[in-house]
Structure 1
Amino acid sequence: GYTDVDIERLHLALVYRGVGLTLDEIRGVLDSPDVDVAAVLANQHELLLAQAAQLTDTISAVERLMDAHRKGMQLTAAEQSEIFG
């Protein structure tokens, strides 16, 4: 059967996977006592913030396209480039 240590390790692996760490990062955090877990999590936090900002920009672009479509507007290449960067 599984020991309490095994179950705790699995739980931590699931938590770390849930916040988006890769399997290699999880292995490093769990197996290497010299890994700075706080630094790994801070790095992941920054990555997630960047992804959230990008997603917010994409949502805004889709909303502008939806608005143009509702109004029957045909966007020029320049307008599309402005929306999507």
Structure 2
Amino acid sequence: METHSLKGALEGVRTRANCRLSVSILVTEGDTSTLVPVTLDVADLKDMPIEDVRQMLELCAERRFRSLHAEPLIAAAS
């Protein structure tokens, strides 16, 4: 994720109350890659440095990516 693009997006929404930041992050693992949507409340990001926000978004995307690939396994097991 490009830091300057994220910084611009945050500057646009940090001044608004009750706002959410939604981004799509491309997560690649081995031969599999998926565009994963991530949405966070801007209030949670208010005073965070840009690098911390980026890491949080990437962590959320990775968790979501793993849960998306676990869902078919859970369905197949039942």
Same fold (TM over 0.5): no
Bigger strand fraction = 2
TM normalised by structure 1 equals 0.41
Higher helix share: 1
Larger radius of gyration: 1
Superposition TM-score, scaled by structure 2 size: 0.44
